[in-house]
Amino acid sequence: MIRMSAIIAPGTFPCSTAILQGSFEEVFQKAAAAGYDCVQLTVKSPDDYDIRELKDLMRRFNLGISAMATGRIYTADGFSMGSDDEKLRAASVRVLTALADDAALLGHEYPDGGTVRPAIVVGAVRGVYSDAAAPEIYYKQFDRSIRELTAYCEKLGVPVILEASDHTETEAFIDPAKTLDYVRSVGSPVLHAYLDTMHLFNEGLDPAGTIMKYGSDVFSIDISGEGRCAPMDSVMDFAAICRAINRSGFSGNLTFEMPPEPPADSYLRSLEFIQKLIRSDALSRS
């Protein structure tokens, strides 16, 4: 089942990726009223939230938490999973496993059955090649980190998701096929790859074609236009993208990753736009 997820942030720091920002109660209420199934937290450490508050809000608004976006571990604290500074590498894993402990307590039972726990996102926290003396050292350190993290998360039943990114953010794990190959090589049942329409566009790939090819193999898809603009304002063919989402066998979270504006009420208008395209394609096939 495809679920709609809104990235949220508390509004206490600049954030260009959270479509809803404000107090947790405010954003949970808006997400639920708009029709989202879940939200994705933008966090740096367990100190960023009160887990009892989150559990209460999940219950009150009947919303799951799809994932914990961890980029600020790198951008704010400099903890890189590929660093050859062992203190920084170990710190990245230590914070990620602490978040996983809480993720294990934040499961949500969706109507289609089963309790789903938030995924730990490996995006910016992977770091860049310059975090190590050479790319081969970077990859050795990253592999060590991901294996430590997934071994820990396997015991908790918490997913770990590795993003296929683009060259404007990193040199590591950009190509979707190679990212999926790496995920499979680790051999952990909790490790998955995920895609992002903006990253695919930035790499000169056809987002719809890539999703059609790999959609059945990925955990989630981040939705936004070029430069993180709203999908209805994008040059991308989101009608084709939504057809690919429907027809690829994808069954996961569509995560709305973009600033809260422009346009005004982007969290609502973007969701309505994508839902309409998905429904229209479904009707055309019935």
pLDDT digits (tens, 9 = 90+) for 230-271: 999 999 999 999 999 999 999 999 999 999 999 999 999 999
Please say if the pLDDT value at position 113 is more than 90.
no
What would the mean pLDDT of 116-132 be, rounded to a whole number? 97
Is residue 38 classed as helix, strand or coil in its secondary structure? Answer: strand
Question: CA-CA distances (angstroms) from residue 4 to 180, 271, 278?
Answer: 23, 8, 12
In tens, the pLDDT along 97-110 reads 999 999 999 999 98
Share of the chain above pLDDT 90, in %: 94
Structure tokens at 275: 């839902």
Q: pLDDT at position 282, please?
A: 79
Question: CA-CA distances (angstroms) from residue 196 to 18, 109, 268?
Answer: 14, 26, 20
Q: Please tell me what DSSP assigns to residue 143.
A: H
In tens, the pLDDT along 6-60 reads 999 999 999 999 999 999 999 999 999 999 999 999 999 999 999 999 999 999 9
What would the mean pLDDT of 82-93 be, rounded to a whole number? 98
Rg of the chain over Cα atoms, rounded to whole angstroms, equals 18
- Going by pLDDT thresholds of 50, 70 and 90, the confidence category of residue 283 is confident
What would the mean pLDDT of 194-205 be, rounded to a whole number? 98
CA distance 280 to 274: 10
CA distance 40 to 69: 7
What would the mean pLDDT of 79-108 be, rounded to a whole number? 98
Share of the chain above pLDDT 70, in %: 100
Is residue 8 classed as helix, strand or coil in its secondary structure? Answer: strand
CA distance 202 to 197: 9
* pTM of the entire predicted model: 0.96
- Per 3-state DSSP, the chain is made up of helix, strand and coil in percentages (nearest 5) of 50, 15, 35
Structure tokens at 100: 């996983």
- Going by pLDDT thresholds of 50, 70 and 90, the confidence category of residue 93 is very high
- Going by pLDDT thresholds of 50, 70 and 90, the confidence category of residue 65 is very high
Q: pLDDT at position 257, please?
A: 98
Q: What are the residue ranges spanned by the domains of the chain?
A: 3-285
CATH topology for 3-285 is TIM Barrel (3.20.20)
Query: Quick count: other Cβ atoms within 10 Å of Cβ 39?
Result: 32
Q: pLDDT at position 286, please?
A: 67
The pair phi, psi for residue 230, each rounded to 5°, is: -65, 145
